[in-house]
Amino acid sequence: MTDIYWPLQRNVIRGRSDHNTFGLVRRYANGALKPHQGWDFEAPLQTPVYAVAAGEVAFVRDRGDYGLQLCIEFEFAGRTLFAFYAHLSKVHVSEGARVSGNELVAASGESGNAAGMAVADQHVHFEIRTAKQPRLGLLDRVSPLTVFGKCPLHEAIPG
Ligand SMILES: [Zn+2]
């Protein structure tokens, strides 16, 4: 069984709000349900970010709403998954590198569409993907609950 680690030293969902968990948890202006593809972990700028499992760096890139992104491929319960981190300020590992579980891999930031957020809203957007390049909406993603087993919605969990 793959050892799983939390991505931060202190892990709690941004604003302790359901809207920052996985699923059809948000709404468009017209009221229709809108997907959120991962969990937002509260993280003031420059918070250290860790590998949630041993694996290989699938990509590092900087573009679009996600800003500076890191994706780590790992094995879990007999399947290949991808831990995806976004809005980073710095990534310490390169594409193709092997990483250990709980290795320091990045620093949080406000890149992409997270720029200029109030301190209380600064966060790491974190997804568990079943494909390196997922399709739209919730396709090719699963709830991070799948690997963590619990969601730190109301109380912070130490990493
Ligand atoms: Zn998010």
Q: How much distance in Å is there from the Cα of 126 to the middle of ligand 1?
A: 7
CA of 93 to the centre of ligand 1 (A): 22
User: Can you give the pLDDT at residue 129?
Assistant: 98
Question: Percent of the chain beyond pLDDT 70?
Answer: 100
CA distances from 137 to 35, 92, 102, 109, 113 (A): 6, 29, 29, 24, 17
* Cα 60 to averaged position of ligand 1 atoms, centre (Å): 18
Rounded-to-integer distance, Cα 146 and Cα 77, Å: 10
Q: Give the separation between CA 2 and CA 27, rounded to whole angstroms.
A: 35
Q: pLDDT digit string (tens) for 12-69?
A: 999 999 999 999 999 999 999 999 999 999 999 999 999 999 999 999 999 999 999 9
Amino acid at 154: H
The mean of the pLDDT values for the chain is 97
- Residue 2 predicted with pLDDT over 90: no
**Domain extents in the chain:** 10-149
Q: Ligand 1 mean position to 20 CA, how many Å? A: 6
Distance 158 CA to ligand 1 centre (A): 20
Instruction: Name the CATH topology of 10-149.
Output: Glucose Permease (Domain IIA) (2.70.70)
Whole-number Å distance, alpha carbon 3 to ligand 1 midpoint, is: 24
Residue ranges with CB less than 5 Å from ion ligand 1: 40, 125
